[in-house]
A and B are shown apart, each in its own frame.
Chain A
Amino acid sequence: MSEVAQGHLAGRVAVVTGGCGGIGQAICARFAKEGAKVYAADISDDGMGEEGAVTFHRTDVTSEDSVSALMTAIDDNDGKLDVLVNAAGIEIEKTVEETSLEDWNRIFAINVTGMFLTSKHALPLMRKAGGGSIVNFGSYDGFIADPSLAAYCATKGAVHALTRAMACDHGPENIRVNAVCPGYIDTPMLQSFCGSAGDIESLKSEVRHIHPLRRYGTPEDVANLVNWLAGDEARYASGQLWVLDGGLTAQAQQMRL
């Protein structure tokens, strides 16, 4: 019980990419509360609160030099890494036809290549820890499509496949790899998506009504799942895509009669 009282990630070292974003901040705060030493890796610290236990490290996940520098800093300070959360991501609200090659390369660079680079450079540090947990950000959009998010949907499908592949390759080293696949979470990204159809405030009751749980998710809901996957309670969980959507995708679309 004493260990639980200290937090179930006591003594663990964790890095969260996109750690200053809507969901990333909630994860960093939860990890810190659970006793972990947390690095929030992001391109800017805008929006990051005064979290004593969270260290900001400016990182561009699309740059191998930048990612390598992040991992070297962690190695120098802590000598190991227990948890990597790949939460950095962007969306581009376009169809395939509207998407430029530059758009396409940019979203893949952040959502997929970034995950590849951080994982590649985190693995040696996880070996030093005797194992670890990698939590990737997939999406329910990796299973079903939202309109005008073509490249985003494709990146999430790639994340799901990469998650399984890494879980198979590194399971023997006690490194678990999972993906969380959020549905609608109340973040600036969601407001942007819904904003294309109108004012988010006027949409809120409709959005709630479509979910079996009659609400959409919060960053804390996501942090709860990531926290579980990061820790020892999830020691047999690997290679899976954890859909967290309030039951949204369990249902068929309904006719409005």
Chain B
Amino acid sequence: MAKGLEGKRALVTGGSRGIGRSIVEAFMEEGAQVLTCGRNSTPTDLPLGVAWHSADVSDRQQAEELVAVTQAQLGGIDILVNNAGVQIEKTVAESSDEDWERLMGVNAKAVFQLCRSVIPVMAGQGGGAIINIGSISASHADPKMALYNASKAFVQGLTRSIAVDHGPQGIRCNAIAPGWILTEMADSAFDLARDPAAARADAAARHPVGRLGTPDDIAQAAVWLASAEAAFVNGQTITVDGGLVAASPLRPELF
């Protein structure tokens, strides 16, 4: 779908690395103008032509400023990708108030705030596409990730609500639920395994496609959802997991 996003103006949160970075690169490849953000200063390896704005999206004022800066720099916003997220590896019993504020601040409140600020901009332009990054853990719990799992279920619920409430204004809102994506974070987890090679092989075998996902697998789904090809797709969560959740978790041949 070369240049399927020609002339589109996109705000992608959390584009310094991982899935966010791949989305930024794929959007550029397809001809979009992109502004991305993170809490740190401009990453040294940011691709040429990508605009950067330092912001903590969980802060209301900074989120609103981010939207204003994007409008000013790009001249409008056609695509919003809420990708920024954090994870805290704790059960409910272990989670503190601070954990709640931090995790829900980024994974839930920031998504709400950015959608709230961007919807009027898109409505004024006659429409747009919002893509929220959820997770398969919204419907299948990862152990000791209680607030994270819950925050991703929030993302799915909010996605449907925006689709229903703002579809009449030409705004499509969809989510992507990635499975296991081999980011730097996942790779370092494998390095810590007792037998890294066996752990990698086991993880691959659990996927019907025989491998873990790449950030680009998610980025390509985002490109499609943002494009005119997906003009009638609204309110959906698209699972991109190599078939992981279609398969039973109990696999005798892997014991």
Contacts and interface: CB of A to CB of B under 8 A. Distances in A.
Interface of A: 140-141, 144-147, 183-184, 193-194, 196-198, 202-203, 206-207, 210, 248-257
B255 interface: yes
A252 B247 contact: no
Nearest to B212: A255
A251 B250 contact: no
Given A147-B247, A257-B199, A251 B252 contact: no
Nearest to B142: A252
A250 B141 contact: yes
Interface in B171-195: 180, 189-190, 192-194
A156 to B, nearest CB: 12
A255 B190 CA distance: 9
A16 to B, nearest CB: 27
Interface string B214-255: 000000000000000000000000000000111111111101
B29 to A, nearest CB: 31
A69 to B, nearest CB: 38
B194 A251 contact: no
Given A140-B248, A144-B246, A147-B247, A251 B140 contact: yes
B137 A252 contact: yes
Given A250-B141, A251-B143, A255-B203, A203 B255 contact: yes
A203 B140 contact: no
A207 B141 contact: no
25 contacts: A144-B246, A145-B246, A145-B247, A145-B248, A147-B251, A147-B253, A183-B250, A184-B250, A193-B252, A196-B252, A197-B252, A198-B252, A202-B255, A210-B250, A250-B140, A250-B141, A251-B141, A251-B142, A252-B140, A252-B142, A252-B245, A253-B206, A253-B247, A256-B203, A257-B192
Nearest to A148: B253
Contact of A252 (B141, B246, B248): B141
Contact of A248 (B136, B198, B244, B249): B249
Which 8 pairs show the lowest CB-CB distances between chains A and B? A197-B252, A252-B140, A257-B193, A206-B255, A146-B248, A197-B253, A253-B249, A194-B252
Given A248-B250, A255-B199, 10 more contacts: A144-B248, A145-B247, A146-B250, A184-B250, A193-B252, A196-B252, A203-B255, A252-B244, A257-B190, A257-B192
Contacts of A140: 248
A147 B193 CA distance: 27
A198 B248 contact: no
Residue with the greatest number of chain A CB neighbours at <10 A, chosen from B137, B140, B192, B248: B248
B202 interface: yes
Contacts of A257: 189-190, 192-194, 199
Contacts of A184: 250
Nearest to A210: B250
Given A197-B255, A254-B143, A249 B193 contact: no
Contacts of B194: 257
A183 B189 CA distance: 30
Nearest to B252: A197
Interface in B103-133: none
Contacts of A206: 255
Nearest to B245: A144
Nearest to A193: B252
A193 B251 CA distance: 10
Contacts of B246: 144-145
A202 B137 CA distance: 30
B102 to A, nearest CB: 22
B93 to A, nearest CB: 15
B193 A210 contact: no
